[in-house]
Structure 1
Amino acid sequence: MTLSTRTAGPLLTTARPGAAEPGPLLTPEPAAPAPVAPEPVDSGAVPAPGTASGLLPEWSPGEWLGYGAIALVALALTAVALTTLWWMLHAWRDAQALTATRFSETPRRAAHRFTLLVPARHEEEVLGQTLDRLATQSHPDLEIIAIVGHDDPGTELVAREAAARHPGLIRVVVDDSVPKNKPKALNLALTVSTGDVIGVFDAEDEVHPRLLELVDTRFQETGADVVQGGVQLMNFQSTWWSLRNVLEYYFWFRSRLHFHARSRFIPLGGNTVFVRREWLDWSDGWDDACLAEDCELGVRLSSAGARVVVAYSPDVVTREETPGTFVSLFKQRTRWNQGFLQVLAKGEWRSLPTWRQRGFARYLLSMPFLQAATGLLVPVSVAVALLVKVPTPLALLTFLPLVPTVVTVAVEVAGLTEFGRLYGRRPRVRDYLRLVLGTFPFQVFLAAAAVRAVLRQLRGENSWEKTEHTGAHRDAAVAPTRSERAAVAAGATRPTTEVAR
């Protein structure tokens, strides 16, 4: 046997006869080069989804449909929430814009005769004070017409007592139509009115004595055909939902209506609205088949080119109360939503001159339902992001609507603070808690009212659901109760003075 040795550093290796020569231990010999494959020829084929070079994820058709729907809903909700937020903040763009929303501080000499229409039905508790306050207007040329039902002796008695206190200023018109509603009452009084500007107020309104002077000045300054004054609910500390209802009115009249007026398409408010007589003659008054006669009139006038001006001065706003019960508020919101549906279906807005105005009109008339959907689907989208396994970018996208929603709540908190400062009613800590915690429940309420409005419209139910008023925005010590009025009415005979029919 032959032994051979080979030194490799400090190691000593012994090779057996016939064995292959071992490779180096520390420095391996280079391997033979691998054959190089030719470059593939680009045939224009799209890489398969899910591959490293693919641009689209490898999803099934069902996943594409589901994920796409989630993304579209998130983007749509974000758009609606941003729109609402922008309208809320429109008046606060700068100091000049906020100043422009107010009435002039110095009124001009009177140039118009006003007729003030006050429809009232089963509102004997509040009507008397309203008529007395209207009779104190400083404007030198006006008449006041109270419209009552032939089947409502209590309210009629209150109206006639007020007319006796202010002879030559207040008249009473009795509406004997069946069924009754507000636009029918207004149209009846319009036939006997003598003013060249017609104003509308509700039976519970607290009206500032200088309001007509300022409205007259606004007509003269702007050449307007319609002037919409401010209306403000006051009893924000009554309930959690009255707080939200008050802030709705605050942002609507303080900011949103000014944006709509600038866009030359505006749904008018139900009261503190003043229209030149020739425009009401042109429109044949109010549509008595519509549950939102104020909105419908605004749409028709806007479509015909009438100039609408809005003014909101906190010291002269018309003060009102929220509906007395949650059920009453629900019925009121249902009526408004159904009225918007009727106006949308009627299609008067299609005669607006530009496609932008027509698109805005369609969007605005659909807004109650879009806002309700936004409020409900925002938490749904958050739940989907947290509980459903979706791609990370899509999960982040579902949180997008939450951003303007949180900002909107912050704006409402600031609005409540400003409201308290303007009206001398400091909010309490629990009011702020009610505001924040009531955000989602109120959205559920709005959605339920919108659904009920759609169902009523589909069933052809157009009955007028009356909103009751108790004078919660007034001093209870001077407001007679319903029982007191009923006792007076029961012991009185029907007045025999002249009735305009």
Structure 2
Amino acid sequence: MRLPTWGQVLAIVVIAASGLWIAQTESGPAKSALALSIPVIFLLWAFWRLALVLLSERRPQPVPPPAQWPRYTVVAALYDEQEVIPQLIERLSRIDYPQDRLEGFLALEAHDNDTFRAAMAVERPAWLQILIVPPGRPQTKPRALNHALARATGDLICVYDAEDDPDPLQLREAAARFASDRNARLACLQAPLRIRRRHAAHDASPFFDRQFAIEYAALFEVVIPAMARLGFPFPLGGTSNHFRVDVLRQMGGWDPWNVTEDADLGFRLWRHGYRLGAIERPTYEAPPGGIEHWLPQRCRWLKGYLQTFGVHSRDPFGLGVRGGIALITTLGASLIAAAAHGPSLAWVIVALVTAADARITPAMPLAAVSALILGAASAWLSGAIGARRAGVPYGIRDMLASPAYWALLSLAFVHAAWRLITEPFTWDKTAHHPDPVEAAEAATTASDDLDAGRRAA
């Protein structure tokens, strides 16, 4: 574990000391400047999000298929996924790509016997193999991916998660986009992730499911396409990333110690002079579920964002101007927003309740109120547009419920900051469960086939 640089330590000390000094000062230019600067920062971020909404409207033009399809490697790193591995294998079997140009690895931990037995019990396409990851530390998804990368024979490689349902034509779109890149500086393409819950109603967590789906829609249908169009780097999603194998090996693969290795890799590719892009064919995923599943997952994400921001702020000049802006407006803004949402909502509620009780007009600074209103409006707008593109339901109830969801991010942030200090490399795994609707459909199909066979006999 690397310690912060002297520059990072100095920046933290200066910011903390300035904040304490200004907080203790009753009045004066410094305190006024601080009171004004914070809302201004949030206003600028809101305008940035509005600009991304406009920029995301223009989609990339379709490109013709290459003269020869490149060899493709598909990897899914799995641990304790015996429940969903039959479903995953069935979904990967639908991939529409030349079979003789395709290889795949189900990367399993050596001691994960249950997942291994479940994988062996399912018929797999000839191109999909089981790959055993030898024991070692850290036991994380990126370490397993690096083990698969070392054995990949493809020109391109993509990563899927256990619960994924990728569009069958996604690999063809990505391969065509890579082939159209004449200077070979395009290193990674991110497919949009869309949340789709087909579980029975009594298994669902409507509040978290809907808010999570809207959050994903805003990110993958608005923010990432706009950042790609601007030629800015962005934190990758943990799945449905498509890479050039030679570039990925040159980068040393994924950082096995970072719990959001995807976010780190997006900026690391940019730092070495490569570009990132976005494609149209989506991957469908299930939401994590209730707060007992959502909170550990979000804690891991925010802890990884803190790790990644710390790593890349060690040498911010190496990212350049656009890279620095991207780092601040994605990871930095996400961390600040997660920390501020809860206290901001509490401040508004206390001010309104106190004013109502005293029968007076609430004393709220115009700049702060403007920042809150415009910030919420930009989030609602990007969520609404992203939801429309992703086919996700979004209504007035979802909009009114969103501040409560945002406030819960502060709980996750506090937990993440503490875990970064006490357990920086611990991986909080999200539990996955098979889709009951798909399982029922598969069982019905199997039953029909069996009845047909009996009648034929």
Alignment partner of 1:136 is 2:98: no
Question: How far off its partner does 1:131 sit?
Answer: 2.0
What TM-score, normalized by structure 1, do the two folds share? 0.72
Query: Which residue number corresponds to residue 158 of structure 2?
Result: 199
User: 2-side partners of 1:66 and 1:479: how far apart?
Assistant: 65
User: 2-side partners of 1:355 and 1:105: how far apart?
Assistant: 30
Query: Which residue number corresponds to residue 448 of structure 2?
Result: none
Alignment partner of 1:209 is 2:168: yes
User: 1-side partners of 2:396 and 2:135: how far apart?
Assistant: 47
Question: How far off its partner does 1:375 sit?
Answer: 2.5
User: 2-side partners of 1:260 and 1:349: how far apart?
Assistant: 22
Q: Pick from 41, 49, 60: which aligns with 1:76?
A: 41
Q: Pick from 420, 432, 457: which aligns with 2:395?
A: 432
Code of the residue aligned with 1:72 in structure 2: it is S
Question: How far off its partner does 1:154 sit?
Answer: 2.1
- Name which of structure 1's ranges 65-74 and 440-449 shifts more when overlaid on structure 2: 65-74
Question: How far off its partner does 1:475 sit?
Answer: 2.4
Question: How far off its partner does 1:254 sit?
Answer: 1.1
Query: Which residue number corresponds to residue 159 of structure 1?
Result: 119
User: 2-side partners of 1:474 and 1:320: how far apart?
Assistant: 14
Question: How far off its partner does 1:330 sit?
Answer: 0.9
Question: How far off its partner does 1:345 sit?
Answer: 1.6
Query: Which residue number corresponds to residue 52 of structure 1?
Result: none
Gaps of 5+ in 1: 1-59, 481-501
- Name which of structure 1's ranges 406-415 and 458-467 shifts more when overlaid on structure 2: 406-415
Q: 1:304-343 maps to which residues of 2 (within 5 A)?
A: 304-312=272-280, 316-343=281-308
Q: Any conservation in 2 of the 1:150–1:176 contact (CA below 8 Å)?
A: yes
Alignment partner of 1:254 is 2:221: yes
Q: Pick from 227, 233, 241: which aligns with 2:189?
A: 227
User: 2-side partners of 1:83 and 1:385: how far apart?
Assistant: 28
User: 1-side partners of 2:166 and 2:111: how far apart?
Assistant: 27
Alignment partner of 1:396 is 2:355: no
User: 1-side partners of 2:382 and 2:298: how far apart?
Assistant: 20
Alignment partner of 1:272 is 2:237: no
Alignment partner of 1:357 is 2:317: no
Describe the superposition over 1:182-202 as per-residue Cα deviations: whole angstroms up to 9, x where unpaired.
Answer: 011111111211111111011
What TM-score, normalized by structure 2, do the two folds share? 0.79
Higher relative contact order (CA 8 A, sep 6+): 2
Question: How far off its partner does 1:240 sit?
Answer: 0.6
Distance 1:380 1:199, change over 3 A: same
Code of the residue aligned with 1:354 in structure 2: it is G
Describe the superposition over 1:143-178 as per-residue Cα deviations: whole angstroms up to 9, x where unpaired.
Answer: 01001122222211232234x5323x1111112324
- Name which of structure 1's ranges 216-225 and 63-72 shifts more when overlaid on structure 2: 63-72
Code of the residue aligned with 1:228 in structure 2: it is Q
**SS class of match (1:275):** strand
**SS class of match (2:438):** coil
Code of the residue aligned with 2:369 in structure 1: it is F
CA RMSD of aligned residues (A): 3.1
Distance 1:349 1:251, change over 3 A: farther
- Identical residues among aligned pairs (%): 25
Query: Which residue number corresponds to residue 148 of structure 1?
Result: 108
Code of the residue aligned with 1:469 in structure 2: it is H
Question: How far off its partner does 1:294 sit?
Answer: 0.7
Q: Any conservation in 2 of the 1:381–1:399 contact (CA below 8 Å)?
A: no
Distance 1:396 1:362, change over 3 A: closer
Question: How far off its partner does 1:479 sit?
Answer: 7.0
Answer with 1 or 2: which has the greater Rg.
1
How many residue pairs were aligned? 402
Query: Which residue number corresponds to residue 384 of structure 2?
Result: 414
Describe the superposition over 1:72-114 as per-residue Cα deviations: whole angstroms up to 9, x where unpaired.
Answer: 333333333333444345313xxxx1x32x7x27544443100
Query: Which residue number corresponds to residue 429 of structure 2?
Result: 466
Q: 1:346-385 maps to which residues of 2 (within 5 A)?
A: 346-347=311-312, 350=316, 352=318, 354-379=320-345, 382=348
Question: How far off its partner does 1:119 sit?
Answer: 0.9
Code of the residue aligned with 2:245 in structure 1: it is R
Instruction: Please identify which structure carries the higher helix content.
Output: 2
User: 2-side partners of 1:194 and 1:446: how far apart?
Assistant: 41
